[in-house]
Amino acid sequence: MSNKNVLGIEWINFFSATPDMKRTYLGLVAHFFLAYPLGNLIVIFPLLLLSTFNWLIILAYIAWYFYDRKSSIQGGYKIEWARRWKVNQWFADYFPARIHKTAELSPENNYILACHPHGIISFGIWANFATNGSGVYDIFPKIKFNLCTLAMNFKIAIRREVLLLFGCIDCSRESIEYVLDKCGEKGRALALVIGGAAEALDAHPGTHILTLKTRKGFVREALLTGSHLVPVYSFGENDVFYQMSNPVGSKLRTFQEYARKVMGMSLPIINGRGFLQLSYGYLPLRRPINTVVGAPIEVAKVENPTKQEIDELHEKYLEKLVELFDAHKEKYGVDKDTRLIIK
């Protein structure tokens, strides 16, 4: 595809693009429309209904919400048709985002997939576990995956239903323990992005910095439910956006840390590409994301795990994660001398 550079901006010549490139672009745009403009419109939609006196619609949704209010903490929806949409494959192919297994996951066990790094928005984890975009159903055919996200996302009208259709559930302790223990099912795997908003502030291209030393809640849940721990690393996740320099101690980083503590959001200042040009914008760059699923660490169920048991399993997990990173880094474009930084 031949693009044009006008006034220092590289504009897309969409009409000369190949059919595959057009499809992947549409997959990207569809995802962002679903996640952002549509999500923001949904927030004000009830107010619009109130202003036009559409009381019956509002009452009908309130009734539905009351009936469905516990779905996000009780395993989500059973249907999977939205996760199999063709547009999900187009979205995964944009980067492309691919999933690679290093060992089988037995349907006789349950699993916590601890995913790293968070990146800015965790595109690889969404493409690989919230959808079937990269073919996770064929790679692990007997495992049912759910992506865990913040509880606040399930408080927003309509948006909660969209997330539930894509297999997302609440990341609370109650929700995790219901799926992995109380519902009585096997072959369940919950994907948790461990680093969260704090880790997003370290998501610069070429960096591999994890916020993990004090993150032990997922280890405790593994012990409480007897779920095997699976280290997962997405090479390239930090490369899809440029982030403004924000070293620790800088005024920008201090403000971002303050915002994270107050609002739960870290507010990284990013630059990617636009809808019609490649020079700037909030859409991600086209960079490969390779999500490597490590071998499961066997965990025996412990009703009341002690601090020592949690610390020992956490230390073992860190060792396996570093081993996974070192074993695959050169294959996916990381220099052999690069080390995984855990803080």
Q: Is residue 48 part of a domain?
A: no
From the list 135, 159, 157, 156, the residue with the least C-alpha distance to 145 is 135
**In total, how many domains does the chain have?**
1
Asked, for residue 97, whether it belongs to a domain, the answer is yes
| Residue 58 counted as domain residue | no
> Does residue 55 lie in a domain region?
no
Looking at residue 3, the DSSP 8-state letter turns out to be -
Q: Is the peptide bond before 117 cis (omega within 30 degrees of 0)?
A: yes
Range of the domain at 200: 4-35+69-342
Per the CB < 8 A criterion, the answer to whether 111 and 228 are in contact is yes
CATH value at residue 312: 3.40.1130
Residue owning tokens 């969404």: 126
267, part of any domain: yes
Q: What is the pLDDT of residues 23-70, one digit of tens each?
A: 998 898 888 877 766 666 666 666 666 666 667 777 888 899 999 999
The answer to whether 153 and 39 are in contact (CB under 8 A) is no
| Mean pLDDT of all residues in 122-129 | 96
Residue 130 counted as domain residue: yes
Q: How many CA atoms lie within 13 A of 161 on its CB side?
A: 10
Closest C-alpha to 316, from 338, 299, 334 = 299
pLDDT tens digits, 68-84: 999 999 999 988 899 99
Q: What is the DSSP letter of 284?
A: P
Output the pLDDT for position 50. 65
CA distance 241 to 287: 9
Q: Is residue 218, in this structure, part of any structural domain at all? A: yes
Q: Give pTM, 2 decimals.
A: 0.92
d(Cα 64, Cα 158) in Å, to the nearest integer?
11
Residue 4 has what pLDDT?
67
59 found inside a domain:
no
Three-state DSSP class for 180? helix
144-200 tens-digit pLDDT: 999 999 888 888 878 888 899 999 999 999 999 999 999 999 999 999 999 998 999
